[in-house]
Amino acid sequence: MDLSTTYLGLHLPHPLMPGSSPLADDLDTVRRLEDAGAAAIVMRSLFEEQIVSDELATYDAHEVPSESYAEALSYLPEPSIFSLGTHEYLEQIQRIKDAVAIPVIASLNGTTPDNWIEYARLIAQAGADALELNVYDLPTDPRESGEDVERRVLDVVTTLREAVALPLAVKLSPFYSSLANLARKLELARADGLVIFNRFYQPDIDVESLEIVPRARLSNPTELLLRLRWLSILSGQTGMSLAVTGGVHNAVDAVKAVMAGAHAVQMVSVLLRRGPAALSRMRAELSRWLEEHGYDSLRQMQGSMSAGRGASPAALERVQYMRVLHSWRPEGDAPARRDS
Ligand SMILES: Cc1cc2nc3c(=O)[nH]c(=O)nc-3n(C[C@H](O)[C@H](O)[C@H](O)COP(=O)(O)O)c2cc1C
Q: Which of 199, 268, 273, 282 to mutate to test the pocket of ligand 1 (most atoms within 8 A of CB)?
A: 268
Query: pLDDT value at position 57?
Result: 78
Query: pLDDT value at position 340?
Result: 41
pLDDT tens, the chain, 340 aa long: 999 999 999 999 999 999 999 999 999 999 999 999 999 999 999 999 999 888 887 765 555 555 555 555 556 777 777 778 899 999 999 999 999 999 999 999 999 999 999 999 999 999 999 999 999 988 999 999 999 999 999 999 999 999 999 999 999 999 999 999 999 999 999 999 999 999 887 888 999 999 988 777 899 999 999 999 999 999 999 999 999 999 999 999 999 999 999 999 999 999 999 999 999 999 999 999 999 999 999 999 999 999 866 667 787 788 888 888 888 888 776 655 555 4
> Among candidates 183, 24, 20, which has minimal Cα distance to 107?
20
b/e for 81-107, b at 16 or more Cβ within 10 A? ebebebeebbebbebbbeebebbbbbb
Query: pLDDT value at position 314?
Result: 80
| Each residue's pLDDT tens digit, 191-227 | 999 999 998 878 889 999 999 887 778 999 999 999 9
Quick count: other Cβ atoms within 10 Å of Cβ 111?
18
CA dist 93 → 46, 56, 104, 272 (Å): 11, 24, 7, 21
| CB distance 86 to 49 below 8 Å | no
Ligand 1 center to residue 172 CA distance, Å?
12
CA dist 222 → 80, 82, 219, 249 (Å): 34, 30, 8, 10
| CB distance 248 to 224 below 8 Å | yes
pTM of the model: 0.91
What is the Cα–Cα distance from 291 to 44, expressed in whole angstroms? 34
| Each residue's pLDDT tens digit, 110-162 | 999 999 999 999 999 999 999 999 999 889 999 999 999 999 999 999 999 99
What is the Cα–Cα distance from 117 to 284, expressed in whole angstroms? 39
Ligand 1 center to residue 90 CA distance, Å?
20
SS3 content of the chain, % helix, strand, coil (to 5): 45, 15, 40
Query: pLDDT value at position 311?
Result: 60
Q: Read out DSSP for 180-191?
A: HHHHHHHHHTT-
Query: pLDDT value at position 31?
Result: 98
Ligand 1 atom 22 nearest Cα:
246
Query: pLDDT value at position 131?
Result: 98
| CB distance 195 to 169 below 8 Å | yes
Ligand 1 center to residue 43 CA distance, Å?
10
